A and B are shown apart, each in its own frame.
Chain A
Amino acid sequence: MVTPVFCLRLAAIAAAISIPVVSHAADIRVMCYQDGIECTVTAELAKKFEAANPGTKVIIDVVPYKTIVEQLPVQLAAGQGPDIARVTDLGGLSKHYMDISAHVKDRAYWEANFGGTLPWLRPSATDRGIYGFMSQLTMTGPYVNKTLFEQAKIPMPGPKATWDEWVEATRKVSKATQTQAALAWDRSGHRFAGPAISYGAKILDAKGELVLDEGYKTAINKFVGWHKDGAMLKEVWGGSGGSSYADSIGEFKNGRVAMVLSGSWQINRLQKDIGNAFDWVAVPNPCGPAACTGIPGGAAWVALKTSKSPKEVGMFLDFLAQEANYAEFTSRTENIPAHAGLAKKGVPYPTATAGARAALATFSAGVANLAPAAYQFQGYRFNRALMLPTVTRVTQAIVGEMSTDEAMIKIAADMADAVKQAQK
């Protein structure tokens, strides 16, 4: 029966439902992935920003790296997406970036401190917009298990040692210490490109288009050969299909290999996870006949066109880019700064262990040895058209589905197809 009490209850429920959700003048959604504590530190900086800008709420959505790589591009293409994202496909997503130059306090500050990397985010060479900034610089490079070398009583090759010398040395270490394999590389075309350039690959021709040459072929032959003779751990590349990414750092942390090819972004993770289990060092990129290079890169905070709060987005990025905030982020996340002023002054890493500090110094010093082709490749818009088929086809050569010559032909065909489709 409908009683007055029931009516009152119904009215109370209806009133509760209709109370508007408290909203802010502007909510900024940030899609963030982290190798270490990048999103955590950003969230803490965001609190300071919110305190200085009442009415603006910054929501940090921490997502796996795979989401940034696979889902964000689809969301953006569909006109959906966050206001800001932390991305690594710098040029590939540039058409979705929003110019925030009208909302930054001091354009000259940005040009002076991020001038070297701002073009990486611009959709064309003539563009002068500010779309975001590099949250850190990274460089691909190897880590070595020093303890295993000491146990095997094998001297570590010097700073100008070749890949062949490192493979031989780690092979001896692996044999003496009974590790699963001598070394492993991340399953990534980006990582593969460093040794390929060292072996003489040009990657881009005079017209700025992708090219496969003898240098690239030599690198594939070497790499596949090292898998066949057991020097390389087969599971990282041979354990997957397609072009999916697989890192080798887990194998390194578990002491299954004496050396891995990964990158500077792993320092924090290594420091935290390995602790005192064994001593590890970052070593300069081994040499080939043409160079001793890794590949530069990094992650960038970018403003996205999907944002409905461009002013607040610009203000927040401007806030993060300020020297004090950038220094806090770099120092706590133990990354290499992309901020020219800070790079000159030097960043303190108070929480880093001696090993981590040494590794950061090795990678920072390695920036000077990067080959010009490595920079060009990083800035090339369709670099994934080479990276991804390389992973797929080289894996097929490793597991014996095709020869390295056939892999080269297939990479060239896949690359041409992908670039043609991307240009349509």
Chain B
Amino acid sequence: MHWLTRLMGIFFNLFEPLFRLGQRVLGVSRIGWLFVAPNLMVFGLFTFLPILINFVYAATGGVKLMPFERPFTGVENFGILFECRNYFDIQTCRKDVFWRAIFNTAKFSVIQVVLMVGFSLVTALVLNRKIIGRGFWRGVFFYPVLLSPVVVALIWKWLLQSQGVFNAALVATGNEPIGWLTDAGWAFFWTVFVSIWAHMGFYTLILLAGLQAIPKDMYEAAEMDAASPWRTLRRITLPLLMPNLIVVLVLAMIRAVQIFDEVFVLTGGGPGSATTFIVQFIYQTGFAEQIHLYGLAAAASLVLALGLMLLTFVQLRLTKASEAGQRAR
């Protein structure tokens, strides 16, 4: 491979005059900008520019795709989204489906995140013990994370559909089939269950890493002091696991707010709007309906962005508080 090293050397030497010129023009302290410029350009093109364009769409109306062809409407799209005769009755809102989606997303996020963190914690605690086949069980819990969300949803759809495995079992045992995906309550339950099943392994892994980082001598000291397992969990494990728990909590919350693909394939947002979440509302309004209301979809996505920013802010505050607590301890 000697020739390859030489070739690379020749290649990079070609740029040396350029770097020297940049250093002369920009100065030593600012030459770093030259190195990050390509990355910044890509980031700007694919992240900042779409955000800016999203603002343009949110402030314009009509169904035309090209921003310069769209009439300026100011905050009209936000007005449409938030127009309600009675804010305590979703039905009176002009875009009631938007509010239903917000309500569903909030309900889903709270229930799913609490259960997700709880199950992940219990699973991590169990998998951290010396149980038989520990490696196998770790693989079992992590395996669904490797699956595509669409595959996950299709697997569960086949199990839950009216002529699926679950109903076949019910009928075979002399019971009436259940509308797992056509009954609003059941459909919501399964969206929560399936999303926990699919993602729990990821959060379990984070918590497991945290558990393994806790020094063993702490537990030995607790054992010598005859501390009960419950007291050890409350006084040693949970406090030292708190930074990981906060990361899991915030990541799970952000992911829950963004839920779309699994639910879209599993229930299509139905029955009715029982499992329609905010990202699906944005997708449907902007792309799935044949009269594409890009402006309304962009306005709704900015509302979502605001919600996610608030969650990120909470994460930062919690992380800081946790770090301060660690230092004080």
Contacts and interface: CB of A to CB of B under 8 A. Distances in A.
A395 to B, nearest CB: 5
Contacts of A400: 184, 272
Given A238-B271, A242-B268, A392-B97, A74 B65 contact: yes
A362 interface: no
B62 A396 contact: no
A146 interface: no
B94 interface: yes
B218 to A, nearest CB: 50
A417 interface: yes
B290 A242 contact: no
B290 A244 contact: no
A399 B182 CA distance: 8
Would you call the interface of chain B mostly helix, strand, loop, or mixed? loop
Interface string A388-424: 1000100110111110001000100100011001101
Given A1-B2, A77-B65, A242-B280, A69 B290 contact: yes
Given A180-B162, A392-B97, A424-B63, A406 B91 contact: yes
B196 interface: no
A396 B90 CA distance: 13
A191 interface: no
B274 interface: yes
Interface stretch (B107-115, B207-215, B253-261, B281-289): B281-289
B138 interface: no
A73 interface: yes
Interface in A156-191: 180
A413 B292 CA distance: 16
Contact of A424 (B62, B94, B179, B289): B62
Contacts of A235: 161-162, 179, 181-182
Interface of A: 1-2, 6, 69-70, 73-74, 77-78, 89, 92, 180, 234-235, 238-244, 246, 254, 256, 382, 384-385, 388, 392, 395-396, 398-402, 406, 410, 413, 417-418, 421-422, 424
Task: Give me the 3 closest cross-chain CB pairs, A-B, nearest first.
Answer: A241-B269, A424-B62, A77-B65
10 contacts: A1-B3, A77-B64, A77-B292, A92-B290, A235-B161, A235-B181, A239-B182, A241-B270, A384-B290, A421-B61
Given A77-B66, A238-B270, 9 more contacts: A70-B288, A77-B64, A235-B161, A235-B179, A388-B289, A399-B270, A417-B80, A421-B295, A424-B63
Interface of B: 2-3, 61-66, 70-71, 80, 91, 94, 96-97, 100, 161-163, 179, 181-182, 184, 267-276, 280, 284, 287-293, 295
